[in-house]
Structure 1
Amino acid sequence: MARPVVGIISNQHLINDQYLAHAGGAMNSEAIAGVSGCLPLLIPADPRFVSVTELMETCDGFLLTGGRPNVHPNEYGEAETEAHGAFDRARDAITLPLVRACVERGQPFLGICRGFQEVNVAMGGSLYPEIRELPGRMNHRMPPDGTLEEKFALRHTVKFTEGGMFHRLMGAQEVMTNTLHGQGICRAGARIVIDGHAPDGTPEAIYVKDAPGFTLSVQWHPEWDAANDPVSRPLFTAFGDAVRAWAARGAKVLKSA
C-alpha cells in the first residue's frame, strides 16, 4: 500500500553563492518518513512552478518547515526594516494561501518555526522582528557556535494549557525543547489558539480553533532527533495519523466516484 504524501516546503538556497536551489533539511524528510510513516516530497515553494491547487491535489498533508528567511512584514501590514532580516517572497506567495486553503478544507499541516509564524500570519496575525530585544525576553536564537548537537540541544521548557490539545497529545503539561528562532508572535491571528509558552511568555505552540483538520504548529524544531525525542515523536506520529486519515478519505471518494 502506497504511503500518503507529505509535501515538505523548501527554502531558496544559493550553492557556492551562485547556483539557486530549492533545499530542505534531511532531518525533515527523516521525521516524515521514519516517524510519521509518510512519503516526503520536497516542494519548490515558488508560484512560478507550482500552484496551491496543484499542491493540495498532489499531497495529502504539508510540513511547513523552518528557514532563515522571514515572512515579509508587508504580509501583516508593517514596513520592512533591517531588523526583519532576509525574506523569501516566493515562499510567502505559496505558503500563506496554502495555510488558509488547508484550514478551510481540513487538509492537515504541521508548522515548524518559520512555518509556525506563517500559520499565524496567514490567519491575520503579526510578528515581532526580534524577540531578544523585548523587555524580559530571553535570546531564542540558535547558538552561533558549536556542533549540531549543541545547537539543537534542549534549552528551555514549554508549558501547555492544562487540558489543552498539546497537553493531551504529549501526556505532560511541561516539556523541554530546543530553540532556534529570532522572531515570534506579536498579535495572534484570528482563530489562533496559543496553547504553549516559553518561561518568558513567548508563544511556542498553536493551533487553529475549530479547524476541521490537523493544524498544530510549534516554534521549536521537533524534526531534530524526532524518532527518539519524547516530545517530537508524538507530534510527528499524530501528524502522520492525520495525513493517513485524509488520504483514506480521498481514496474512499475516488472509489465511490
Structure 2
Amino acid sequence: MARPIVGIIGNSYLINDQYPAHAGGTMNSEAVADVAGCMPMLIPADPRFVSVPELLELCDGFLLTGGRPNVHPDEYGEAVTEAHGEFDRARDAITLPLVRACVERGQPFLGICRGFQEVNVAMGGTLHPEIRDLPGRMNHRMPPDGTLEEKFELRHIVSLTPDGPFARLFGATEVMTNTLHGQGIARPGARVVIDGHAPDGTPEAIYIKDAPGFTMSVQWHPEWNAAMDPVSRPLFTAFGAAVKDWAAGLRPKALKSA
C-alpha cells in the first residue's frame, strides 16, 4: 500500500549565489520516512506554484521545517528592524494560512524551529527578533563553527508541563534538546499553549488548545538523529500515527489540554 504523504515545506535558496532553488534538509526526509513511516514530498512554498487548497488535498500531513529566513514582522504587526534578519514572503503566504486551515480541519502538522514560530504567528502571536538580546536569556543560536554533530548537540533542558501532552508523549517532565534559533515567541497566539520552556524561560514546545488534530510544534530540531534520539523518535512516531489516521479517513478527537 502507498504510504501517507507528508508535505515538507521547502525553503528558497540560491545555489552558488546565482541559481534559485527550492530545498529541504535530507534529515527532514529521513525522519519522515524512517521514523514517521510516511512518504516525504518537498513542497515549493510559493503561491506562484501551489495553493493551500491543493496542498490540503494532496498531502495527509505537513512538516513545517526550520529555515534561515524569518517570518516577516508585518505578519504580526511590527516594523522591520535589522535584528529581524532575512525573510521569505512567499513561504509566509503559504504556511500561515496552511496552519490555520489544518487547525480547523484537524489535519496533522509538526512545526520545527521556524515552523514553530509560524504556528504562533498564524494564530495571532508575536515574535522576539533576537532572543539573546533579551535580559537573562541565553544564546540559542547555532554555534558558528564545528561539525554538524557539534552544532546539533544537546545543549539545554526543556521543562515540560506535568501531565501535559509533551510530558505524556516523552514520559518525562524534562528532556534534553539542541538549540539552533535566533528568534522566539514573545506573545503566544490565540489558543497557543506553551507546554515547555528552556531554563531561561524561552518557549520551546507548543500545541493548539482544543484543536481536533495533531498540532505539536517545537523550537528545537528533532529531525537530527531522529531514529535514535529518545525525544525525537516518539515525536515523529506520534506525528506519523496521526498522518496515517488522516490518510485512512479517521478524524481525531480534540487534543487534551494540560
TM-score band by shorter chain is over 0.9
**Gaps (5+ residues) in structure 2?**
252-258
- CA drift of 1:179 comes to 0.1
- State the alpha-carbon separation in 2 of the partners of residues 229 and 250 from structure 1: 29
The residue correspondences of 1:125-164 to structure 2 (distance < 5 A) are: 125-164=125-164
Equivalent residue number for residue 235 of structure 1: 235
- State the alpha-carbon separation in 2 of the partners of residues 220 and 160 from structure 1: 14
Large movers: runs of 4+ above 6 Å: none
- State the alpha-carbon separation in 2 of the partners of residues 155 and 22 from structure 1: 30
Question: 2:228 is aligned with what amino acid?
Answer: N
Deviation string, structure 1 residues 22-63 (Cα, Å, up to 9, x no partner): 000000000000000000000000000000000000000000
Query: By percentage of residues, which structure has more helix?
Result: 1
- CA drift of 1:108 comes to 0.2
The residue correspondences of 1:1-257 to structure 2 (distance < 5 A) are: 1-249=1-249
Question: 1:99 is aligned with what amino acid?
Answer: V
| TM-score calculated relative to the size of structure 2 | 0.97
Q: RMSD between aligned alpha carbons?
A: 0.9
- State the alpha-carbon separation in 2 of the partners of residues 85 and 230 from structure 1: 33
- CA drift of 1:229 comes to 0.1
Deviation string, structure 1 residues 111-153 (Cα, Å, up to 9, x no partner): 0000000000000000000000000000000000000000000
**Gaps (5+ residues) in structure 1?**
252-257
SS at match of 2:32: helix
- CA drift of 1:187 comes to 0.3
- State the alpha-carbon separation in 1 of the partners of residues 220 and 123 from structure 2: 20
SS at match of 1:42: strand
* % same residue: 83
Deviation string, structure 1 residues 148-181 (Cα, Å, up to 9, x no partner): 0000000000000011000000001000000000
Equivalent residue number for residue 254 of structure 1: none
Deviation string, structure 1 residues 55-96 (Cα, Å, up to 9, x no partner): 000000000000000000000000111110000000000000
SS at match of 1:249: coil
| TM-score calculated relative to the size of structure 1 | 0.97
- State the alpha-carbon separation in 2 of the partners of residues 75 and 151 from structure 1: 30
- CA drift of 1:250 comes to 6.8
